[in-house]
Structure formats: structure tokens, C-alpha cells
A and B are shown apart, each in its own frame.
Chain A
């Protein structure tokens, strides 16, 4: 059984149909990526799974349980976390407080344990724990956003554009971390505009085009697919 299975999902903003009947699956332990151009519906799909947007139609099942109609704050408790596009850290709160918010649904005892793991993964966050998040650099903010999402100990971590706006060296670092998290057992759903990076670490990928899935395959297959190369990898 798939960890997450999305079937025939339809989502719209008013009259605009952003997602028109997509289906995909993620198995335990995989890195799966959704790639596609701006406006293809990638972020919409993640936000719908996380419960921020209500779908018009279709099903979303996580560990065999339907997520449609479940409130966003309840979905986190089920073991599914979204690290949103643009990081969205709480800029006026300290790094430590941001992480504490990430573990909001869990007990203090669990959080202090998870906090150690997060600080070990992101030593720079520990150094800056008492700084307000707004004073961090872009790369540090991305690390904070990921660390914050990890505080809920998710089985499935959804990352929306984690490399956006980062210098190439930081992009490498972020992708190394994603791979390491996956090796330690976190299943990952990755949405990226940086398709070549995403496909290079993904087990499988889905190509989204204006609300439809146009192609699917293993990361390596898609990386070498002519159409994908032309459209998303610059030839």
C-alpha cells in the first residue's frame, strides 16, 4: 500500500482550475518529485494535501486514511508536514521559538528530544537559536523552515521549492540534507523548479503541465527523457 495516494484530484481558485484530475502515489521511503513550469499546479497540489486548500473533487489518502476535509492542523498530527514555498518562517520570533512552533502538536518531552536531532542536523540553527528568524540569511531561513517541519517528526515531508532564491552552493547543501533525511527514513515529496537537481535525487518523478500529469518515470529516466530535457532542463 502506498503511503500517500492522490486520485483524480481537482482544485480550483474561483473560476481558475489549477489542478485538473491528477493522480500519483508515494511509497514509504521514496523521494518523489513533482516538476513543471510556473502555474502547473505543483504548489496547489501540496497545499491541498496539507489541508490549506479544499479540493473540488478527488481523493487523498495517507496511510489508508482520507485527508479530504481534515483541517490543516489535524493533518500535521497524522505525520505529514509541509515546508512551504518562500520558507514562511516567523520572522519576529527567535529560531528556537520557530522550532518550538514546529513541534506544536507534540509534548515538550518529545520536542526536546527532536530538537537535539534538528540542531545536530543544522548546527547553524543552534548557534543562532536566540536570534530572530528575520535576521537569518536566505539559506539559514530555508534550514530553519525544514528544521521546523521536522519538529513534528513527519513520516512524509513535503518540500515546496526548497532551493528557491539560494546560491548554487547552498542548493547543493540543501539537496544533500534532503537525501540524508530520506536515508534516515523520512519519505519525501519534493516540488522544484530546479528540475535537474530534483530528478537527480528522486526515485520517481511526475511532470505536471497546466494541471495535468503529462509524464511519469524514475528520476533517471525523466532526467534523460528528450521532452523533459527540452522543456525543463534547458535542452
Chain B
């Protein structure tokens, strides 16, 4: 029983990490940027939900739609304003810019909403459902199902659609992709849109689980998801999912053993071990440096 509950908790938390990790991995895959602002996009998504439900008293469904749409737009906007002008600059410049964007969002949120936590109202009324005599968290089940569907849709988009194939072409060889008639900037924007939409879904699922929004909530969530992406092999979509689930399970089981103060340390220890044993991550390919 307890084991099953913990398993479900691990899957729930891992699913959220996986969704966020997918955004990291996709952006890295296409422009080799570690988008440190990615976690903060989730924070903005949580605040959007808070505004829509707590301030405006609107339907949770509208909160979900606006959170996902808001995150998507924000992701594309960040790329256009902050990263696109640096497309041909050294990689360090754009990395530092990403850190700058992250601080900008965190401090901007603090300025607008204050430093205290805002309570995000529940999206759904029922919290538990009974399955075969066991009481299971509906949030957890929803989170897992939504993540599974999102991952399946994303995989389909990337593998089968024209734009998805263009994404893969750009990530392999931007110059050759241009010669094919692929508009590289549009393709990169599309990648940011997809990654940020997943972050928006992650924001909804995260605030469903923890019911609060703070200006700094994206830092640890983003860092953990980044660890998940690196664990799984950055650039790899199935890797991000595996990495996310691993990090989620590690945290939940360490907490279940009564060592919850150690849960963050264990996640980072896991990262160190994987990097020593397999530096490219679980599903990572050895990538040759692009020239």
C-alpha cells in the first residue's frame, strides 16, 4: 500500500520533471543553449493560473488554457528578444543572457506579485479516487496521464511532421538546413514554442500538486529538470523522460525513508555518478563539436 502510494508519488513528481526536462533538451538539441530561464517560465505559468482563478475567479479550464498559452508566448518572446540577436555570437554570451533572463523574470515577478507565496486554488474538486479498494490521488493520476499524452504528441510531432523533421535537420546542421529552404529562425521559434508549452503544462501540474506560486519556485524545479535532462542524455527526448522519472523516484523514495532533508543532495549525487560512469547521460550520443 504505502509502497504503491510512494510509487505513484514518484511517478507524479517524475512526470513534472520530465515535462520540464523536455523543454531543456529540445532547446539544447537545436541551438546548444542551456536555457536557464526555462524554470522561470513555469513560475510565470503558475502565477497566470493564480490570477485567473484566485483574482478573477474564473473557471480552472480557462486557467489551464491561459497558463499554457502564456508560457508558450513567453518562451517564443524570450527567444526573439534575448537569444535570436545572439545567434552567431559565442555560446558563452547566450548562456549568460539566459541567466540574465532568469534573474529578470524572478525579480520581475517579485516586483509585481511580492515575495510571499500566493495560493493557487485547486483545479479540480475531487482529490482522491477509489480504485480496487485503494484511495489514489487523482492529481497524481492526471499528472501521469497528461505527461504520457504530451510526450506521445511531442514524439509524433518531432518524428512525423514536416516541421518536426525540419527541427531535427536544423539541430544536425543549421547551414545545410538553410540550403534546403528551411527557415531556421521559424524552426527555432517553433522549438521554443513546443518546449514552453510543455513548461506551461508542467506549471499547471506543479501548482496542482503544491498549490502555491512564489517568484523563486522555478529555480529548484528548473535545476532538477536540468539534472534530469543531463541524466537522460541532453538532446534526447526519451532521455528527458527517463531522467525526469529517475529524479522523481529518487526524491520520493529518499523522503519515504525519512531522509527528506537529503533528497536534493541525492538527486545531485545521482547526477555526479552518471556523469562519471557515462558522461553523455543514459541515452546520450557522443556528439562531435560542430564547426
> Which A residues lie at the B interface, using CB under 8 A?
50-52, 71-74, 76-77, 81-82, 84, 88-93, 97, 100-102, 104-105, 148-149, 152
Contact = CB atoms under 8 A, between A and B. Distances in A.
Interface residues of B, number: 17
A91 B172 contact: yes
B96 to A, nearest CB: 23
B168 A93 contact: yes
A92 B237 CA distance: 14
Contacts of A148: 180
B181 A90 contact: no
Given A93-B165, A93-B169, A101-B166, A73 B175 contact: no
B79 to A, nearest CB: 18
Given A88-B173, A97-B165, A105 B178 contact: no
B176 interface: yes
B112 to A, nearest CB: 38
Among B172, B175, B177, B182, which residue has the most Cβ atoms of chain A within 10 A?
B172
Nearest to B183: A73
A104 B180 contact: yes
Interface of B: 162, 165-166, 168-169, 172-173, 175-184
A149 B169 CA distance: 14
A104 to B, nearest CB: 5
B168 A84 contact: no
Contacts of B165: 93, 97, 100-101
Given A90-B168, A93-B165, A73 B173 contact: no
Contacts of A73: 178, 180-184
Given A76-B179, A88-B176, 18 more contacts: A52-B175, A52-B179, A73-B183, A82-B179, A84-B175, A88-B179, A90-B176, A92-B168, A92-B172, A93-B165, A93-B168, A97-B165, A97-B168, A101-B169, A101-B177, A102-B180, A104-B180, A104-B182
A90 B172 contact: yes
16 contacts: A51-B178, A52-B178, A72-B178, A74-B181, A81-B179, A84-B179, A88-B175, A90-B172, A90-B173, A93-B168, A93-B169, A97-B165, A101-B166, A101-B180, A104-B166, A104-B182
A104 B168 CA distance: 13
Contact of B172 (A74, A76, A93): A93
A152 B169 contact: no
Contacts of B180: 73, 76, 101-102, 104-105, 148, 152
B285 to A, nearest CB: 8
B182 A101 contact: yes
Contacts of A90: 168-169, 172-173, 176
Contacts of B166: 101, 104
A52 B182 CA distance: 12
A97 B183 CA distance: 17
A70 B21 CA distance: 37
Given A84-B175, A84-B176, A90-B176, A77 B169 contact: no
Contacts of B184: 73
B175 A152 contact: no
B181 A104 contact: yes
Contacts of B162: 100, 104
Contacts of B175: 52, 84, 88
Contacts of A93: 165, 168-169, 172
A122 to B, nearest CB: 17
Given A52-B175, A88-B173, A90-B176, A77 B168 contact: no
A102 B173 CA distance: 13
B188 to A, nearest CB: 13
Nearest to A88: B176
Among B176, B183, B184, which residue has the most Cβ atoms of chain A within 10 A?
B176
